[in-house]
Chains A and B, each alone.
Chain A
Amino acid sequence: MSDQIILQLKGISKQFPGVKALDNVSLDVRKGEVHVLLGENGAGKSTLMKILSGVYKKDSGKIFLDGKEVEINSVNDAENLGIGIIHQEFNLLPHRDIAQNIFLGKEPTKRGPLGVKVLDKATMYSKCNELLKTVGIDLDSRILVKDLGIAQKQMVEIAKALSLANLKILIMDEPTATLTKGEIDKLFSIIRKYKSMGISIIYISHRMEEIQVIGDRVTVLRDGKYIGTVPVKETPPSELIRMMVGREITNLYKRDYNEPGPEALKVCNLSSRGKFKDVNFSVRRGEIVGFYGLVGAGRTEVAKAIFGEDKYDAGEILINGKKVKHHMPSQAVQNKMGLLPEDRRDEGLITKMLLKQNVVQASLRKVFPKGILNNKVESQIATKYITKLNIATPDENVVVASLSGGNQQKVVLAKWLLTDSEVLIFDEPTRGIDVGAKAEIYELMNDLAKSGKAIMMISSDLPEVIGLSDRIYVMYQGKIVAEFSHENASQERIVNFAIGRGDTL
């Protein structure tokens, strides 16, 4: 690693409708370093990297590469400059083979019949095999991507980014989220190899242990703002967390543990082919039960099956000791369940409609038993919940799309409180919500538990799971692999179970 700065971002800003995603962010990357980008969900890391890789356009700011100012207006621009990216979500076409995916948009060509430019498939497949060898996966480049496992797909993504001819900067957005220990080690050795070739790597992660192992310097973002850049070696994790969160975490979670009541939700041997298997758990009144696991571990799938949105193949669901089978969510709602989905904008709210309309959406039959709407009643109910949940809004007649994430989540919560739901499923309740609103939502959840509701909480935010739950279930590859009480929960043990390493420390 040298001190030579290869890439400089200066004063980058980006506005999305309703959100300032990036506010005057700067970053400099040295040649051959692993530069970690750290921040909570919604801090702006991915947005910044999407600007650098030409997916988004910046509103203002400058980008310098090798000291020269460059304009990146498209993915092609970025690739021509030698900037490659591995996106967080898979960016592969399932029905095309490995080589077609790796060389997508930059296939080698030759002169074919009649002098037309045609694909040079021989070169493409041999180059691809070479590349796969470099990455260290032993796969035929003609295998369709849909037939690969998750880790193999991730390696193909990596190979795709490395296929750039003049690669200078490689962006990796949470590349290890779905990898096992062995695969992570393999990835790290690849990173070291490319590092020694003078390629700079921008590495997005929030796993402290990884940062310590692989990172050289860390830049922290919070709520779209630049917080600081520090060398990894000289900075303890607690300091990084402080920079990332902005205040001590301890006072964020307020939880009065009380004696839980009878079982409100019980799930026995629930299975759905390809999604989850033999899932057993229970949630009692007055309890918050946390579900931790990696993306794709099957937590959301279990919740949706219980709620009747997805089908399941076998098993039983009991509510208040009574066996139920939900073919569609309307039945679950009749059985006094409520779901606050992971994707608020697409699943939790009807963003085109007004706040008050969203609040009564799940209780239309209860509020208007004759089937005839009454504007006044609707407004009164909404106003009541605006006060009760402290929703920051001018009034009840605003379109929900215009509210901030935290306030939108409160509207979803209001919707379910109005139905008198007894079993509430929170799926990632605070994703993309700022710290202030988070604390309020935690307090509301605490109050709900105190009032005797049974709460199932799915979260990928470990401090949140530990800070809030009575009990914690850990899922890995569709199965529940561990259960912890809040007294004996430890971050390390939970993570080990979640990434499939079991209890071996």
Chain B
Amino acid sequence: MKHNAIRFLLKYARFMILIILLIALSLLSPAFLTFTNIANVLGQASLLIIVSYGMTLAIVTKGIDLSIGSVLALSSCIAASIIKSQSIILGIIIGLLIGLLCGSINGIMITKIGLTPFIATYGMDWIARGLAYVYMGGTQIYGFDKAFRFFGSGQIMGIPVLVFEVIFITVVLCFLTYKTTYGRNIYATGSNIKATRLAGVNTDRMVISVFALNGLLAAIAGLLYISRLNAAEALIGTDFTLNSIAATLIGGTPFGGGEGGVARTVMGAIIMTLLINGMNLLEISSYWQTATVGFVILLSLFIENTSKNFLV
């Protein structure tokens, strides 16, 4: 009886947190339930959701990707300068390619050289960020063409375009991870890489492709981000890494690998966005953000760990 109650609580904990957050924020801040703020939250959440999908895939394969924020910055900075100087299409393509490339390098460092995902992607984090700074030389690029800005800040029938884009990406990724043999192999690799390899799956290729996909998602998020912001600079996106880890974990994808999935992460990303949005509305110093996110990560690990011990 008692167990059932706790099981129930754990299962619906995310919904309850979400509802409590919504109620609390609407009571505490009159600005929360305004049209501009809701659109703002949706936009922010969309970007975090895209980035968190990448993080989720990495964690499902029993890895992690600490380079997401910097890869986002590097690819979008380079894309921005090409969009300004050449063409939008070329800029977008090159931006996406850079994301793919960074992600693939991560995957190769992990599989072929044998670095742990933490170290490999942390190294990539420094290098990509550094390259972004070198490339930008301390400047900003701003004022994009209207056509490009549409992707990140346009609206269709009053709804941000970003929302449609996220829905599209969600559908694609859900299909890919839940309905295809590729997705099955991602889960198998994350659950038990050795057994999966011995069953004839090229697990190196799986890991590399997942990290490449991560890089691609980071680049997509980066392009949408600069489109929304109408500006690009080297220091953008630093918060995304930790936030996306938190979104993945509270969404319900645990660190053990082979469990959870992108569908769960949506909820986690929305909760994280509301939390951060609420802190902004309540005028809590933005310096508290990282601590809060870190705390949320540790807390969700703690709850997962305790509930596992309890339920067994």
Q: Do A and B bind each other?
A: yes
Shortest C-beta distance, B59 to chain A (Å), equals 15
Residue of A nearest to B205 (CB): A330
Structural contact, A364 and B184, CB atoms closer than 8 A: yes
Contact with A along B116-142 (1 / 0, CB 8 A): 000000000000000000000000000
Residue from A328, A373, A419 in contact with B197 in the complex, judged by beta carbons closer than 8 Å? A328
- Asked whether B165 is an interface residue with its Cβ less than 8 Å from the other chain, the reply is no
A190 at the interface (CB under 8 A from B): no
Q: Is the pair A309, B200 in contact by a Cβ cutoff of 8 Å?
A: no
- Find A361's partner among B179, B196, B258 (CB 8 Å cutoff): B196
* A125 CB to nearest B CB, Å: 37
A425 to chain B: closest CB distance in Å?
11
Contact with A along B184-226 (1 / 0, CB 8 A): 1101100110111111111010000000000000000000000
When A350-B191, A373-B179 are in contact, do A309 and B198 touch as well, CB less than 8 Å? Answer: yes
What is the CA–CA distance of A373 and B183 in the complex, to the nearest angstrom? 9
Q: Are A330 and B202 in contact (CB under 8 A)?
A: yes
Q: A252 CA to B93 CA in the complex, in Å?
A: 66
Of listed B195, B196, B197, B201, residue having the most chain A CB within 10 A: B195
C-alpha gap A419/B199 in the complex (Å):
10
Q: Does A355 contact B (CB under 8 A)?
A: no
- Check B259–A372 contact: CB distance below 8 A: no
Report the minimal beta-carbon distance from B205 to chain A, rounded to whole angstroms: 9
Contact with A along B20-60 (1 / 0, CB 8 A): 00000000000000000000000000000000000000000
Which of A72-80, A208-216, A340-348, A464-472 lies on the face that meets chain B? Answer: A340-348
B180 at the A interface (CB under 8 A): yes
Give min CB distance, B284 to chain A, whole Å: 40
The answer to whether B168 has its CB under 8 Å from any CB of chain A is no
How far is A350 from B180 in the complex, measured between Cα atoms in Å?
Answer: 18
Chain A residues positioned under 8 Å from B15 (CB to CB): none
Q: Which stretch from A229-237, A264-272, A331-339 is at the chain B interface? A: A331-339
B304 nearest CB across to chain A (Å): 15
| Interface of chain A residues 343 through 382 with chain B (CB within 8 A) | 346-353, 357, 361-362, 364-365, 368, 371-373
Contacts of B259 in A (CB 8 A): 352
A385 smallest CB distance to B (angstroms): 15
Task: Please encode chain B, from 153 to 195, with 1 for each CB lying within 8 Å of some chain A CB and 0 for all others.
Answer: 0000000000000000000000000011111110110011011
Taking a contact as CB atoms under 8 Å apart, the answer to whether B200 and A332 are in contact is yes
Q: Are A350 and B188 touching (Cβ within 8 A)?
A: yes
Contact of B181 among A346, A349, A371 (CB under 8 A): A371
A476 at the interface (CB under 8 A from B): no
Please tell me which one of the listed residues A332, A352, A368, A419 contacts residue B258 in the complex, with CB atoms under 8 A apart.
A352
Contacts A348-B195, A350-B192 hold; do A371 and B200 have CB atoms under 8 A apart?
Answer: no
Complex: A346 Cα to B198 Cα, angstroms: 11
Cβ of B311 to closest chain A Cβ, rounded Å: 13
A415: nearest chain-B partner, CB-CB:
B199
Shortest beta-carbon distance from A418 to chain B in Å: 11
Distance between Cα atoms of A244 and B191 in the complex (Å): 37
Please tell me if the beta carbons of A368 and B181 are within 8 angstroms of each other in the complex.
yes
Whole-angstrom distance from the CB of A353 to the nearest CB of chain B? 6
Q: How many A-B residue pairs have CB under 8 A?
A: 74
Residues of B close to A368: CB separation below 8 A: 181
Cα A419 to Cα B200 with chains together (Å): 10
A residues in contact with B197, CB < 8 Å = 309, 328-330
In the complex, chain B residues 221-271 whose Cβ is within 8 Å of any chain A Cβ: 258-259
Compute how far the CA of A349 lies from the CA of B199 in the bound complex, rounded to whole angstroms. 9
Chain A residues closer than 8 Å to B194, beta-carbon distance = 346-347
- Chain A residue contacts of B185, Cβ below 8 A: 364
Most buried by B among A364, A368, A372: A364
Q: Is the CB of B201 within 8 A of A330?
A: yes
Q: Give the docked Cα–Cα distance between A339 and B196 (Å).
A: 12
Task: Assess whether B188 is in contact with A373, with CB atoms less than 8 Å apart.
Answer: no
A361 touches B199 (CB 8 A): yes
With CB as the reference atom, state the residue of chain B lying closest to A369: B181
> Chain A contacts of B200 at CB under 8 A?
329-330, 332-334, 362, 419
A203 in the interface (beta carbon within 8 A): no
CA A346 to CA B193, docked complex, whole Å: 9
- Whether the Cβ atoms of A373 and B199 lie closer than 8 Å is no
B195 touches A347 (CB 8 A): yes
Which A residues are CB-close (under 8 A) to B192? 346, 349-352
Report the nearest A residue to B257, measured CB to CB.
Answer: A352
Q: Does A307 contact B (CB under 8 A)?
A: yes
Q: How far is the CB of A421 from chain B (nearest CB, A)?
A: 10
Q: Is the CB of A341 within 8 A of B198?
A: yes
Give Cα distance in the complex from A358 to B185, angstroms.
11
Q: Which residues of A contact B198 (CB under 8 A)?
A: 307, 309, 329, 339, 341, 347-348
A365 to B184 CA separation, bound complex (whole angstroms): 11
Q: Closest CB of chain A to B27's CB: distance in Å?
A: 42
**Across the interface, which residues of A come within 8 angstroms of B199, CB to CB?**
329, 333, 361-362, 415
A365 to B198, CA, bound (A): 15
With A and B bound together, what is the CA distance between A351 and B204 in angstroms? 21
Distance of A283 from chain B, by nearest CB (Å): 19
| Assembly CA distance A368 to B197 (angstroms) | 19
**Shortest Cβ distance from B173 into chain A, in angstroms?**
15
- Give A425 to B199 CA distance when docked, in angstroms: 13
Give the chain A neighbours of B202 by CB distance below 8 A. 328, 330
Can you list, as one digit per residue, whether each of A301-315 has a CB less than 8 Å from chain B (1) or not (0)?
A: 000000101000000
Name the B residues within 8 Å of A350 (CB-CB).
Answer: 188, 191-192, 195-196, 258
The chain B residue with its CB closest to the CB of A341 is B198
Taking CB atoms, residues of chain A closer than 8 Å to B182 are 371
Best-surrounded residue of B194, B198, B201 (most CB of chain A within 10 A): B198
Q: Mark B57-73, 1 if CB is under 8 A from A, else 0.
A: 00000000000000000
A residues within 8 A CB of B201? 330, 361, 364
Chain A residues in 8 Å Cβ range of B196: 350, 361
A333 contacts across to B, CB distance below 8 A: 199-200
Given the complex, which residues of A lie within 8 Å of B179, measured CB to CB? Answer: 372-373
A351 vs B256: C-alpha distance in the bound complex, in angstroms? 13
Q: How far is the CA of A141 from the CA of B195 in the complex (A)?
A: 40
> How many Å from the CB of B287 to the closest CB on chain A?
40
Residues on the B chain within 8 Å of A334, using CB: 200
Nearest to B183 among chain A residues (CB) is A373
Tell me which of A357, A362, A373 contacts B180 (CB under 8 A). A373
Determine the chain B residues whose CB is within 8 A of the CB of A351 once the complex forms.
191-192
A372 touches B181 (CB 8 A): yes
- Give Cα distance in the complex from A362 to B202, angstroms: 11
* Closest Cβ–Cβ distance, residue B190 to chain A (whole Å): 9
Measured CB to CB, the residues of A under 8 A from B are: 307, 309, 328-330, 332-334, 339, 341, 346-353, 357, 361-362, 364-365, 368, 371-373, 415, 419
Which 6 A/B pairs are nearest by Cβ-Cβ distance?
A: A333-B200, A364-B181, A362-B199, A352-B191, A350-B192, A361-B199
Q: List 22 A-B contacts (CB under 8 A).
A: A309-B197, A328-B197, A329-B198, A329-B199, A330-B201, A332-B200, A333-B200, A346-B194, A347-B195, A347-B198, A348-B195, A351-B192, A352-B258, A353-B258, A357-B188, A361-B199, A362-B200, A371-B180, A372-B179, A372-B180, A373-B184, A419-B200
